[in-house]
């Protein structure tokens, strides 16, 4: 039990398992393949997503620094995606190079066109998919931002504020980040 307290205190203090201060947990690079007109919405959504992660104790930086887990998100249209027709995005949690996350801005925009709504929804979609990658698993939660399907009330909350992480999702993020930072033994 003491180990969990020590790890928790170190994480709260911004330190990794070696006792060194963390500059960040995630470096995020977002590529907008939709066009300049979406740039303002995408930038505002990135800021909101970073705030959501900060509330969960995860430090996110944008391209320019290279620390922590390196993630690439592509903002695109979903026309060529052969998967589920209502999917707003998808993540590849186990991919170590290239694009980890694809977000379909056209599908996000189909749910509402007010800028504040699109920004809120886009931020939540980004957070949901980034969390899959950080947790190193593809599993939905019973509640919070990692729910498999959002309700009308969830969409309204995204517009006004944000849907928080469930406690177990924050724990899984921390486990996923810790497993990436644990050196493997040479055999």
Write the pLDDT tens digit of every residue in 49-86. 999 999 999 999 887 667 888 899 999 998 778 778 88
Rounded Cα gap, residues 160 and 114, in angstroms? 12
Residue 119 — very low, low, confident or very high, per pLDDT cuts 50/70/90? Answer: very high
Residue 118 — very low, low, confident or very high, per pLDDT cuts 50/70/90? Answer: very high
Residue 22 — very low, low, confident or very high, per pLDDT cuts 50/70/90? Answer: low
CA within 13 Å, CB half, 135: 19
Write the pLDDT tens digit of every residue in 96-114. 777 789 999 999 999 998 9
Q: What H or E segment, with its residue span, contains residue 154? A: helix 152-160
* The predicted structure's pLDDT at residue 138: 84
pLDDT tops 60 at residue 20: no
* The predicted structure's pLDDT at residue 182: 60
- Residue 30, strand partner residues: 73
In three-state secondary structure terms, 34 is coil
Which comes out higher in pLDDT, residue 18 or 174? 174
* The predicted structure's pLDDT at residue 108: 93
* The predicted structure's pLDDT at residue 102: 95
Segment 44-49 long-range contacts (CB within 8 Å, at least 24 positions apart): 44/119, 44/123, 45/118, 45/119, 45/120, 45/122, 45/123, 45/126, 46/123, 46/126, 47/123, 48/119, 48/120, 48/123, 48/162, 49/123, 49/124, 49/126, 49/127, 49/130
The pTM assigned to this predicted structure is 0.83
Domains along the chain?
24-179 (3.40.390.10)
pLDDT tops 70 at residue 180: yes
């Amino acid at each position: 039990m003491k180990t969990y307290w020590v790890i928790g205190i170190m994480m709260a203090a911004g330190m990794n398992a070696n006792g060194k201060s963390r500059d960040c947990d995630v470096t995020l690079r977002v590529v907008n393949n939709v066009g300049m007109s979406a740039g303002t919405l995408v930038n505002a959504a990135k800021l909101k997503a970073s705030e959501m992660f900060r509330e969960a104790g995860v430090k996110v930086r944008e391209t320019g620094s290279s620390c922590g887990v390196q993630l690439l998100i592509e903002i695109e249209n979903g026309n060529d995606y052969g998967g589920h027709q209502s999917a707003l995005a998808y993540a590849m949690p186990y991919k170590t190079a290239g694009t980890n996350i694809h977000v379909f801005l056209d599908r996000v925009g189909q749910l509402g066109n007010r800028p504040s709504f699109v920004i809120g929804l886009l931020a939540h979609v980004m957070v949901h998919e980034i969390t899959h990658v950080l947790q190193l698993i593809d599993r939905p939660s019973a509640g919070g931002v990692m729910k498999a399907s959002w309700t009308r009330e969830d969409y309204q909350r995204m517009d006004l504020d944000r849907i928080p992480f469930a406690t177990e999702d924050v724990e899984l993020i921390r486990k996923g980040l810790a497993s990436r930072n644990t050196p493997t033994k040479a055999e």
